[in-house]
Chain A
């Protein structure tokens, strides 16, 4: 049974998606999609436990052995990622699209679930596949379905946001395809592990250098690395809040993982950091992202845009961890991948609650909200503290790992930069909290009521787990460390 799990992980949501179109009824589809997400979560967790104990699972699709056939290859890192994707989906789906925020009529909302399940399929495929061309296919599945999801947002600007994401995403996808083509030309194989072996003799060639460049830039667009982030604030602002919550917590994270895979599995640390000195490019961009993103967030007047810029800064921390080329750094990056998924997903759900009631995402419209929606405001505050990295929250753990990694490399200035940029987060988080807590309520707020319970509990599951994972770090710490060691080939 366990041997078939990797295929099941991808196939289950893929087959479930068209079923949504057959079922049609909004409520039935909602329950169906939720069940699928939960089943996928169960699969992912089983795989994670299995790989922690027994090591890598390799699955040959259709019985064609690699390197000829397509191989699904699940180690701790892949399973960790699949757990995150399915976990977030399991919380977001029961939350529902929150009918007020969708542009399509209720009787066609099954299409939302269809697109959502397809998006999940793509993300899971990217997580578990061991085949380079497969990565491209799943990247495209993810992208196409997420363009649809973003375009579902209310207001015409959602369409332009989806369109500009489409343009950027296509460029990114094309770059990745070009890179795969070049590698295929040099090696004659598409299997990642095989490709890594066959690249060794031709490492010095210019073709490989260019292939790596295309890979890097393509993945950087997808993960919204500064300055290739421009699609993201718009997409997150105008998409339905539920979609923003899901995509911010998973899509950029999986793309980050693809970059990590490319760096360590295909090209190898010796080439990437030893010959090309990729860190000379990645580290300055990461640091710039940390600061520019936080500063830009401080100046935003819309809360979703503020969170999007904050995401850009947080992605900077993850790529910074990668650029350090050490187990500690990569562990920090992966822990932050998980923790940031929780807190940003949770925060976008909080925003979904607020916009559901207020019908506005302007920060000034939220004045005095604490009196009317106390639990939601508290959730925002806790999530915000986690973004800052206050001890006792998950954000502190990630930063702790990163600072440790910087100190172990003897780069004290880097540790100080990380701490300084955390200070900036105080600015944009507290700006919102001050408005919610201390400003006299506006008319709009006076007339509002707390969000319904079905919309509050998913928020608190996410926000609560940022506190849980802030205090109880054995699980995240160990899994991320094992994943990092696996990725770097030390296990």
Chain B
């Protein structure tokens, strides 16, 4: 009975349509000035209200409905002569569906105080679209959800209601929609070639359709050179918006790659580059939410490598890592959101010492940092080791080494830099103004995520059972893994201490706090910065020259269309119009003469 009801509905639609009910329920209106991203008064109690109940119910109902669908369940429909498959349940889609529901639930709890219904509505609908996408059995359905994630998520940026957010949102939207258009174009080519719309293994076989689809996935997965939308937009979303966004779009792309391009060898160098290059940027970036965005990009690299290796173990690793990653990255973004809410900024240079006022948030941030750095007994360790093992097993030694380097980098920028600058370091000038701990609902959301980070690290068996392929006797806790990882962490830490010692001596930098500051802000980035500056300067100059030329032509173009005297958009005199009729007539005669010559 229950199964039949569940089977009549594609997963994700409960969230997608349920979200539309939100504005119909009674609720409080957002603060008039739109301050603090629509989060209800910082002090004082907040009633959950009908909308809160609905928001909590939707992901839970969605998760139950999804799990009632048996493996192998699928639904087929015929739409203007094309066989579509809106739902296909297998183990790969189920693990992504599960974590998407969990992420939606955690984000909802985190957003309970948000009274700006637009944000909650678009967040839930966005999650629903992403869930729908991972269950899509054909490329058209995938395209529909693919575009929906773009159209719904952009409001999480626009909801900041600043001019800057409007611009960033538009840039984000254009890139995301472009990805969808590429996907649709690729689908049409693919259909013309094969006559099938099913979304199965596509592989890069030189056909232009598959290449277009690959690019569409690559944009959303933030491949190097296609990545900048991510670091551009995520730090500009609202406090809660970033938490929503960090979970879905990119992981949906990882799923799509795992489904369509598993074992595509080019993904391995792409992924390796992805793990390595954001490290440099993350080290020199000051906006801590942007640091997290770079580190998100770096983590995606691990998953892309896993997909590229393509063995059962590697695909398992990619899926498991996506699962763990959504939790700890969400956790880190949540802690930074709490800091942004209380302190009004997440600039590393302005923060520090917040542990005095926000002890719980500090603790959760440290747990998230340890998980992302893959400390044994934390979730990152049990999942990342699968990808590393798979890469090593298949003989990708160089890749393995790059991944090791990137892992060390993760420890630096996410594991130490984030908690250090925000919560420890020197006491910030802002400290007296901070009223206290994060609101209770935010702490609950963080606690759930933190609990899962540790639980997965200690008892990985339930997660392993969910994975697309049987794990067999694989265990993360064998001697090699633990020793390698511990060595890596110790080595990183040793380097850290060494540099700290080196910086201890200069007379002008006596204070310990400044010392460590110096290590992080001068020594490490110094060398990198010089190199980058040199490259940047050259790039900047070319960019400026090209930019000026483009701007000039855009202006001229704009003048032609912008309202104003003698522009295209203004009324033309009738005489001129009549002349155009003559011009078209002449054009017609020319065409007919030419064609009579040709034909």
Tell me the bound Cα distance from A217 to B583 in angstroms. Answer: 10
Q: Is the CB of B188 within 8 A of A403?
A: yes
Q: How large is the interface on A (under 10, 10 to 19, 20 to 34, 35 or more residues)?
A: 35 or more
The answer, yes or no, to whether A221 is at the interface (CB within 8 Å) is yes
Given A309-B569, A390-B147, A438-B158, are A281 and B578 neighbors across the interface (CB < 8 Å)? no
Stretch from A94-102, A112-120, A227-235, A320-328 that touches the partner: A227-235
The answer, yes or no, to whether A164 is at the interface (CB within 8 Å) is yes
- Please pick, from A161, A309, A438, the residue contacting B161 in the complex, using a CB distance under 8 A: A438
The answer, yes or no, to whether B580 is at the interface (CB within 8 Å) is yes
Given A301-B563, A390-B147, are A419 and B158 neighbors across the interface (CB < 8 Å)? no
Kindly supply a per-residue 1/0 record for chain B positions 141-170, scoring 1 wherever the CB is within 8 Å of any chain A CB and 0 otherwise: 001100100010001001101000010001
For residue A391, which residues in chain B have a CB less than 8 angstroms away from its CB? 140, 143-144, 147
Residue of A nearest to B559 (CB): A299
Chain B stretch 241-267: residues in CB contact (< 8 A) with chain A: none
The answer, yes or no, to whether A209 is at the interface (CB within 8 Å) is yes
The answer, yes or no, to whether A305 is at the interface (CB within 8 Å) is yes
Given A209-B592, A391-B147, A423-B177, are A168 and B577 neighbors across the interface (CB < 8 Å)? yes
Tell me the bound Cα distance from A26 to B305 in angstroms. Answer: 73
Given A171-B581, A230-B572, A233-B569, are A298 and B599 neighbors across the interface (CB < 8 Å)? no
Tell me the bound Cα distance from A300 to B561 in angstroms. Answer: 8
For residue A412, which residues in chain B have a CB less than 8 angstroms away from its CB? 189
The answer, yes or no, to whether A415 is at the interface (CB within 8 Å) is yes
Residue of B nearest to A275 (CB): B599
Shortest Cβ distance from residue B136 to the other chain A in the assembled complex, whole angstroms: 12
Q: Is the CB of B563 within 8 A of A277?
A: no
Tell me the bound Cα distance from A430 to B151 in angstroms. Answer: 10
Stretch from B178-186, B291-299, B523-531, B535-543 that touches the partner: B178-186
Q: Is the CB of A423 within 8 A of B591?
A: no
For residue B444, which residues in chain A have a CB less than 8 angstroms away from its CB? none
For residue A221, which residues in chain B have a CB less than 8 angstroms away from its CB? 581
Q: Is the CB of B118 within 8 A of A437?
A: yes
Q: Is the CB of B80 within 8 A of A477?
A: yes
Residue of B nearest to A471 (CB): B79
Q: Is the CB of A274 within 8 A of B589?
A: no
Given A299-B569, A392-B144, A419-B181, are A274 and B599 neighbors across the interface (CB < 8 Å)? yes
- Please pick, from A231, A305, A419, the residue contacting B569 in the complex, using a CB distance under 8 A: A305
Residue of A nearest to B588 (CB): A213
Q: Is the CB of A300 within 8 A of B580?
A: no
- A-side interface mostly: helix
The answer, yes or no, to whether B584 is at the interface (CB within 8 Å) is yes
Q: Is the CB of B580 within 8 A of A400?
A: no
Q: Is the CB of B580 within 8 A of A276?
A: no
Tell me the bound Cα distance from A275 to B591 in angstroms. Answer: 10
Kindly supply a per-residue 1/0 record for chain A positions 174-209, scoring 1 wherever the CB is within 8 Å of any chain B CB and 0 otherwise: 010000000000000000000000000000000001
Tell me the bound Cα distance from A22 to B599 in angstroms. Answer: 60
For residue B192, which residues in chain A have a CB less than 8 angstroms away from its CB? 407
Shortest Cβ distance from residue A364 to the other chain B in the assembled complex, whole angstroms: 12
Shortest Cβ distance from residue B180 to the other chain A in the assembled complex, whole angstroms: 10
Q: Is the CB of B581 within 8 A of A300?
A: no
Residue of A nearest to B584 (CB): A217
For residue B584, which residues in chain A have a CB less than 8 angstroms away from its CB? 217, 220, 227-228, 281, 285
The answer, yes or no, to whether B346 is at the interface (CB within 8 Å) is no
For residue A280, which residues in chain B have a CB less than 8 angstroms away from its CB? 591, 594-595
Given A230-B571, A275-B596, are A423 and B178 neighbors across the interface (CB < 8 Å)? yes
Tell me the bound Cα distance from A280 to B598 in angstroms. Answer: 12
For residue A247, which residues in chain B have a CB less than 8 angstroms away from its CB? none
Chain A stretch 341-390: residues in CB contact (< 8 A) with chain B: 374, 390
Tell me the bound Cα distance from A296 to B589 in angstroms. Answer: 29
Tell me the bound Cα distance from A160 to B571 in angstroms. Answer: 10
Tell me the bound Cα distance from A90 to B401 in angstroms. Answer: 72
Given A213-B585, A227-B584, A434-B166, are A419 and B185 neighbors across the interface (CB < 8 Å)? yes
- Please pick, from A217, A231, A403, the residue contacting B585 in the complex, using a CB distance under 8 A: A217
Tell me the bound Cα distance from A440 to B31 in angstroms. Answer: 12
Kindly supply a per-residue 1/0 record for chain B positions 539-562, scoring 1 wherever the CB is within 8 Å of any chain A CB and 0 otherwise: 000000000000000000010011
Kindly supply a per-residue 1/0 record for chain A positions 208-251, scoring 1 wherever the CB is within 8 Å of any chain B CB and 0 otherwise: 01000110110011000001101101100000000000000000
The answer, yes or no, to whether B574 is at the interface (CB within 8 Å) is yes
The answer, yes or no, to whether B21 is at the interface (CB within 8 Å) is no
For residue B576, which residues in chain A have a CB less than 8 angstroms away from its CB? 230
The answer, yes or no, to whether A448 is at the interface (CB within 8 Å) is no
Shortest Cβ distance from residue B328 to the other chain A in the assembled complex, whole angstroms: 32
The answer, yes or no, to whether A473 is at the interface (CB within 8 Å) is yes
Residue of A nearest to B189 (CB): A412
The answer, yes or no, to whether B71 is at the interface (CB within 8 Å) is no
The answer, yes or no, to whether B568 is at the interface (CB within 8 Å) is yes
For residue B177, which residues in chain A have a CB less than 8 angstroms away from its CB? 423, 426
For residue B585, which residues in chain A have a CB less than 8 angstroms away from its CB? 213-214, 217
Please name the 5 residue pairs, one residue from A and one from B, whose CB atoms are nearest each other, closest first: A277-B595, A299-B561, A167-B574, A230-B572, A391-B144
Where the two chains meet, the residues of A that have a C-beta atom closer than 8 Å to any C-beta of B are 160-161, 163-164, 167-168, 171-172, 175, 209, 213-214, 216-217, 220-221, 227-228, 230-231, 233-234, 274-278, 280-281, 285, 292, 295-296, 298-301, 305, 309, 374, 390-392, 397, 400, 403, 407, 412, 415-416, 419-420, 422-423, 426, 430, 434, 437-438, 440, 473, 477
A-B contact pairs, 9 of them (CB 8 A): A213-B588, A227-B580, A230-B576, A276-B595, A281-B588, A299-B563, A407-B188, A426-B173, A438-B166
